[in-house]
Amino acid sequence: MIDTINIAVTATSNSRLSQVDFNNIPFGKVYADHMFMADFKGGEWTDYQILPYQNLSISPANSAIHYGQSVFEGMKAYKNAKDEVLVFRPYDNLKRINKSADRMCIPQIPSDLFMGGMTELLRLDRAWVPKKAGTSLYIRPFVFATDEYIGIRPSDTYKFMIFTCPVGAYYSEPVKVKIETEHARAIEGGTGYAKAAGNYAAALYPAKIAQQQGYHQLIWTDAKSHEYIEESGTMNVMFMIGDTLITAPAGETILKGVTRDSVLTLAREWGIQVEERKVAVKEVINALKNDTLKEAFGTGTAATIANIATIGYDGKDYQLPQTGETSFTAKVLRELEGIKSGNLSDPFNWVHKI
Ligand SMILES: *Cc1c(COP(=O)(O)O)cnc(C)c1O
């Protein structure tokens, strides 16, 4: 299926592509030549354009800046051996941006706008999709309020935009995480399940404290009792205890990751026992103490799989066993990277060809 919409395209006459060292790409700091933009006004989406990547001009009274009415998504594009551009499960991100938008009183993004804008942008900037193993083009769609108004109410106008960044590996080393038992990321009835801008601002302070204590990231626990594990930073988190893969159910307080779903689907396909249920901190600590916790990892688009090497809890650091080539973590990472880059078959129809 090809999604076509009418887009006014202004191509750059000054590509920055030749200035990029594709062997050494800092995450999220290099932007491809173009960006997609659409405006919501008078109750509808209009003015679809592709422009050279550039700054925006925004009123100091822009309501998204003051009150955070803003949601985003993250996806990745890869190049296969035939130089075709592949995007991993974009329709799941479309569904999720609309779930997030609904929670933040932001108008829905129609499929032809989301898919059509992304498709045209990727066609124009296809040379920016890197090919080397472990690299990809990160795609950042987002919507934010644009009313010039210092009063709290849903904005009447919005911008939907997409830009892209070529990226290398996210974490190069296994991560050291701290189980957070004081602050919370999300509450029942709150916005934890939405990729809403404010969630990430609220997470910075507890993450900063953990970083000062020598950890890379946090493992969030439930806001009420801090006895149950929710996520790790901006990734879902999974534990291999004995031969069972365990992760928290993606309810109101947990962002339902596309990578999470992909890992669980592959695990079930491989006949591994999978449990989506509440995971008690105590259970994980006990498994660490009696050596039944074999693997722990975060799942998310940026890192795909981030191996956890150390878990800190209650002032004590617990080391996890080293994971080798035959571990579930390594196997599922190879499988996912293989499917995404078109090197392995795609039995679940996850890959969308541009
Ligand atoms: C984006 C995100 C994830 C991972 O979702 P993916 O779809 O796998 O990228 C997990 N947790 C949080 C809080 C997130 O923002």
Q: Which atom of ligand 1 is nearest to the CA of 261?
A: 8
Candidate of 92, 219, 255 to mutate for ligand 1, largest count of ligand atoms within 8 Å of Cβ: 255
Looking at the DSSP bridge assignments, the partners of residue 236 are 231, 299
| Local confidence pLDDT in tens for the 354 residues of the chain | 455 689 999 999 999 999 998 888 888 889 999 999 999 999 999 999 999 999 999 999 999 999 999 999 999 999 999 999 999 999 999 999 999 999 999 999 999 999 999 999 999 999 999 998 889 999 999 999 999 999 999 999 999 999 999 998 665 678 999 999 999 999 999 999 999 999 999 999 999 999 999 999 999 999 999 999 999 989 999 999 999 999 999 999 999 999 999 999 999 999 999 999 999 999 999 999 999 999 999 999 988 999 999 999 999 999 998 888 899 999 999 999 999 999 999 999 999 999
Q: In the prediction, which pLDDT does 170 show? A: 64
What's the rounded Cα separation, in Å, for the pair 337 and 133?
9
With beta carbons less than 8 A apart as the criterion, state whether 192 and 185 touch: yes
Q: Which residues contact 205 (CB under 8 A, 6 or more apart)?
A: 183
Q: What is the distance in A from the centroid of ligand 1 to the CA of 299?
A: 8
Would you say domain 8-168 falls under CATH 3.30.470.10? yes
CATH of domain 175-340: 3.20.10.10
Please list every protein residue whose CB sits less than 6 Å from any atom of ligand 1.
Answer: 74, 195, 231, 234-236, 255, 257-260, 299-301
Query: Are the C-beta atoms of residues 305 and 298 closer than 8 Å to each other?
Result: yes
Report DSSP state, residue 196.
Answer: B
What are the boundaries of each domain within the chain?
8-168, 175-340
Residue-level pLDDT at 4:
66
Distance 212 CA to ligand 1 centre (A): 24
C-alpha angle with apex 349: 346 to 354, nearest 5 degrees? Answer: 95
Which residues on adjacent β-strands are paired with residue 161? 37, 142
Mutate to test the pocket of ligand 1, among 234, 253, 305, 340 (most ligand atoms within 8 A of CB): 234
- Local structure of 100: helix, strand or coil: helix
- pLDDT of res. 5: 81
14 CA distance to ligand 1 centroid (A)? 34
Q: What pLDDT was estimated at residue 221?
A: 98
What pLDDT does residue 1 have? 46
Q: With 0-12 CB in 10 A as exposed, 13-18 as middle and 19+ as buried, what is 188? A: exposed
